[in-house]
Chain A
Amino acid sequence: MWQQQQFDCIVVGGGPAGTTFAQVASRGGLSVLVLEKDRDIGMPVRCGEAISDKGLRYFHDPDPRWILSTIDRIKLTAPNGTEIEFDLNDKGYILDRRIFDYDLAHMAVQEGAMVVTKAYVNGLIIDNDMVCGVKGNYLNTPFEVKAKFVIGADGVESRVGRWGGLRTQVKLKDMESGIQKTVSGIEVQSNKFEFYLSRKWAPGGYLWVFPKGNKSANIGLAISGYFAKEGKSAQKFLDEFLQWKYPECSVLTTVVGGIPVDKTLKCMVADGLMLVGDAAHTVNPMTGGGISSGMMSGMAAAETAIELLHNKKEPTRANLNSYEKKWAKLRGKKHEKYYRIKEAIFRFDDDDLNRIADGIAAVKEEDRSLMKLFSIAVSKKPTLLIDVMRLFTGL
């Protein structure tokens, strides 16, 4: 019985960040327990399910069972209806997260990890300021399990970090309020990501149409908490869009969730504790994509745990700093830049977006290099230059 055992690592949360940690750490010879509060790994899905080929391939060869559609083209729609299309340099996929997450957990188990579902963690065991285990409830029975490392992979809620003294609360303006409906019975091109940019569709965020094949798609949007404050919820925005664009569609599933589009936490670790994935704010703040970056943080944390245990070092905050350094190098530094881009785009109103889109639409597709697009954007909105300077100087 896992309740009576001691582990090297306990992971709270069975999403891709948590199970990637478990897989890598188990392969490195550590004993790992993963506690998932829901009854299923991979459900309910709280995600747009998009990932780049490069991001996925960093960890696994794409398994056809995971992939609902392969995307090689993007269509952006501006507020005035101007459409801009271009090919993607790096193709992308729409995953079936139910199968993907399940398989990641399965891989972790094959490496020797133990996964328990319906195990709800409600506190930490802390001894002399060192986190050394978790408390919780499993099938109405309280439990306490000890470990050398506790890994908070508990997603956007990130309570494990709070209990360990870390400041994980997301500022309202950096939380996106998201909703997505999987709709069926619509005409949609199966190789194209579609994005709609406008304050009328999704203020402080964007609306997406991600094809899932067979005349179905994930249609969702996220709005910034900053705009949500005005009283119109994400659901109301999406219902209006569907009524306008696809009034005849059937809605097969609805998922909702928060997306922390923030810089990574300054402090991802405490004595005995590491945070990974959404819990550590590892989502790409510009795109809101978080699957591969979450997995990357899980991998980096696992490598740190393996190094410390093999070298018989204590999991103190100072020693765990090597995880923070690994993360900064992998993605953290880039995310700081992406955050500044997000802040700049955030200031665009619909007139700005229309001017930029019309300028780009006038250029032939084969001439649409990134530099060309950028120079058009600047000529249409000169203050963008100031934002870009901010970006590079970090002001």
Chain B
Amino acid sequence: MAKVKVVEQITKANDQIALQNRQLLDATHTLAVNLMASPGAGKTSLVMRTIEALRGRLRVGAIEGDTASQVDADKVATTGVPVVQINTGGGCHLDANMVRPALHELPLAEIDLLLIENVGNLICPAGLALGERINVVISSIPEGDDKPYKYPGIFTVVDAVVINKTDLLPYLQFDLLTFRRLIEGLNSRARFFQISCKTGEGIAEWAQWLADKFEAAVGDGVNHT
């Protein structure tokens, strides 16, 4: 019997396809953002708000991931932006191989910012790259302030943490300061946004951050208005 050293990441096959997706997106100067959250945190609402806030500044497109149904894509389509729905058929996350055909269905050359709404889940999406350059987790006030303790993995790998439904703060027990301090401790590079998709609080600041990321990553200062 002989021991063979391997040391190979179990996500390697996914990572290779994700890299191809990213190269495709880079070629069309499209910045992709992977939006992750538990079900009901407000992913689709944030996609809608972001499209609205960036209208006339960036050309936005969307991929909507869900286990089943076309509901989210139909909702986003009312804004007039190109959108593709991916149904995972019960699968708990999007992976790079599911995103690849969706990219080919979208007019990428006419999209600056591609918002990819992952399946509602705080566990599985965190470990699987899709081709995005920016990872975001959305948490919401009703979910409670203990989410980073229960799902630390996702909070450590993201570029931004968005806390949604701040309009509910007066009615619920949520220690925003401790929540924020824990995330800063776990992930010092993550930007923190407090928003309410209902009232619009914080949306402008969030949208500006995305616009700045686009300019820095692929915009080359080009104005697409």
Do the two shown chains form a genuine complex with each other?
no
What residues of chain A have their CB less than 8 Å away from a CB belonging to chain B?
none
What residues of chain B have their CB less than 8 Å away from a CB belonging to chain A?
none
